[in-house]
Each structure stands twice: as structure tokens, then as C-alpha cells.
């Protein structure tokens, strides 16, 4: 239950407000505005100009408050990221939900976070007025450190692929695979569809062994949606499809 609403005009003001107890950043509010019994004060980020999306060197920097739909429509994002966002949420939700809110709220079934994990996205975190740090998404989803996400940075000169299996074309996938390959040959494979966070199955100097890595990563991935036997076989098939797509 939202008990107080703040709309700061500056980042400094927002960070000051976020030092108060039971106070959380408000992105699109699609999750935070759901009914709960726990009282929370929210700090709306919409005036902080954190919704920009721009190239930065060889990277693409996405402001934390950029809506999923803005990223979806941008010609700067890779095609595979578009596919992952489409699976993440329907249009109305994509118009409100922000990239940072989706990372924070996302679990292992999130196609968007799975894609970001494969791309080795960097998360810029503002912990206080003087403490800003950038960490890899692998570390972020392991610890969910406190702090305000201000930006997400993605590599631009990479090849990407995303493949998913779901009950309907827009349902949250039961299994999904995201693969990113750098010019050097470095290949990262992330799996989603299961658990508390997506799983990094492979981060190698080449794509060799990706199918086996997918099988191994999901050998215990059983839940109410699918058995581990099913998921590990599908993960290997999706990894192969990703490899084919990157050729």
C-alpha cells in the first residue's frame, strides 16, 4: 500500500528521500501499485531525465526510467532484445514498465533479464550522492544490492539471438535461451524460464559446447510448469537454434 508519494526534481533530492525507511523508487509503478498490506513511500523518478536512450562509444546506454516499449521500438536495440521484450509483457504494460523496474522485479522466468544476462549488461547504481558504481548484471541478480539504478549499458557491436518455448506466442516462456557473441568469439548463453533468476549457462571464448552447457545448467530445473527432463532437452534445442541464428 502506497502511503506517501514524492516526485523529486533532482537526483540528489531523490537519493535523500530514498534514505528514509520503507521508501522505494517508483518506475512505471505496475508492480508497486499492486495492493499489499505493507506500507511503502514511493519516490517517482519521472522528472529526473533518466528515460534517455543513446549510444555511448561502442555501447548503448539506456536510462533506468526508459519504458520497455521505447526500447522495443528503438532501432538501436538488437532484434533479439525486441523479441525478449515482446515476451516480457503485453503492450499496455510495456508502455508503463521501466527497464530498471523490470530488472528489479524480474525473476528467472523474465525473458528481458535473460537477454540482458547474455549481453553482459552493466548496471549503474547510485548508492548515495557520492557513491556511484557500475556492476555486471550477473553480480546484480546474485545480490540485488541496494541503490538507485540510473542506467543500463549494453554492448552494441555484438550478435544476439533469442529463442523461447511458451504455451502461447505471448505467454511467459517455460524455457528461453539468449545468446550473445562478440567479435572476439566470446559467447554468452543465458537460460530463462525457471527459478529465482535466469541462469548463465556459458561464458566462453567461443560457442563450442553451448548445447551441453544448456543441458547441464537446467538438469535440475523442474517446477510446476515443466519437468527438469523437458527443460534440459528444450534448453539444448534452443541453444542450437541460437547458434544457427548467429551464423
Ligand X SMILES: Cc1cc2nc3c(=O)[nH]c(=O)nc-3n(C[C@H](O)[C@H](O)[C@H](O)COP(=O)(O)OP(=O)(O)OC[C@H]3O[C@@H](n4cnc5c(N)ncnc54)[C@H](O)[C@@H]3O)c2cc1C
Residues that bind ligand X (CB under 6 A): 24-32, 34, 45, 64, 93, 96-98, 100-102, 104-107, 148-149
Fill in the DSSP letter of residue 98.
B
Closest CB to ligand X among residues 135, 237: 135
Q: To the nearest whole angstrom, how small is the minimum distance from the Cβ of residue 78 to ligand X?
A: 19
Cell numbers for 174, please give them. Answer: 517455460
Closest CB to ligand X among residues 29, 155: 29
Cell numbers for 125, please give them. Answer: 547504481
Q: To the nearest whole angstrom, how small is the minimum distance from the Cβ of residue 7 to ligand X?
A: 13
Q: To the nearest whole angstrom, how small is the minimum distance from the Cβ of residue 236 to ligand X?
A: 27
Closest CB to ligand X among residues 26, 202: 26
Closest CB to ligand X among residues 71, 202: 71
Task: Characterize the bridge pairing of strands 158-165 and 148-155.
Answer: unpaired
Q: Nearest to ligand X by Cβ — which residue?
A: 101
Closest CB to ligand X among residues 30, 187: 30
Closest CB to ligand X among residues 34, 157: 34
* Largest pairwise CA distance in the chain: 53
Q: To the nearest whole angstrom, how small is the minimum distance from the Cβ of residue 182 to ligand X?
A: 27
Q: To the nearest whole angstrom, how small is the minimum distance from the Cβ of residue 31 to ligand X?
A: 3
Q: To the nearest whole angstrom, how small is the minimum distance from the Cβ of residue 89 to ligand X?
A: 6
Long-range CB pairs of 34-41 (<8 Å, 24+ gap) are: 35/1, 36/1, 37/1, 38/1, 39/1, 39/3, 40/1, 40/2, 40/3, 41/2, 41/3, 41/4, 41/5, 41/6, 41/17
Q: How far apart are CA 232 and CA 214, in angstroms?
A: 7
- For residues 45 and 14, the answer to whether their CB atoms sit within 8 Å is yes
Q: What is the DSSP string of 172-239?
A: PPSEEEEEEEETTS-EEEEEESSSSS-EEEEEESSSTTHHHHHHHHTTT---SS--HHHHHHHHHHHH
Amino acid at each position: 500500500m502506497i502511503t506517501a508519494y514524492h516526485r523529486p526534481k533532482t537526483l540528489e533530492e531523490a537519493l535523500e528521500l530514498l534514505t528514509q525507511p520503507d521508501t522505494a523508487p517508483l518506475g512505471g509503478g505496475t508492480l508497486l501499485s499492486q495492493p499489499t498490506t505493507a506500507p511503502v513511500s514511493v519516490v517517482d523518478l519521472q522528472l529526473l531525465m533518466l528515460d534517455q536512450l543513446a549510444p555511448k562509444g561502442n555501447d548503448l546506454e539506456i536510462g533506468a526510467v526508459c519504458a520497455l516499449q521505447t526500447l522495443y521500438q528503438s532501432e538501436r536495440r538488437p532484434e533479439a532484445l525486441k523479441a525478449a521484450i515482446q515476451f516480457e509483457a503485453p503492450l499496455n504494460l510495456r508502455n508503463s514498465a521501466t527497464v530498471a523496474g523490470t530488472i528489479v522485479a524480474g525473476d528467472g522466468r523474465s525473458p528481458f533479464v535473460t537477454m540482458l544476462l547474455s549481453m553482459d549488461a552493466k548496471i549503474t547504481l547510485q548508492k548515495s550522492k557520492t557513491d556511484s558504481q557500475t556492476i555486471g548484471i550477473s553480480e546484480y541478480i546474485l545480490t540485488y544490492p541496494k541503490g538507485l539504478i540510473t542506467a543500463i549499458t549494453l554492448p552494441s557491436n555484438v550478435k544476439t539471438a533469442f529463442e523461447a518455448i511458451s504455451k502461447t506466442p505471448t505467454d511467459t516462456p517455460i524455457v528461453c535461451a539468449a545468446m550473445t557473441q562478440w567479435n572476439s568469439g566470446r559467447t554468452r548463453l543465458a537460460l530463462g524460464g525457471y527459478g529465482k533468476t535466469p541462469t548463465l549457462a556459458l561464458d566462453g571464448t567461443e560457442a563450442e559446447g553451448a548445447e551441453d552447457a544448456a543441458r547441464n545448467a537446467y538438469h535440475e530445473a523442474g517446477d510446476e510448469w515443466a519437468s527438469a527432463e523437458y527443460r534440459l532437452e528444450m534448453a539444448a534445442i534452443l541453444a542450437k537454434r541460437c547458434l544457427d541464428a548467429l551464423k
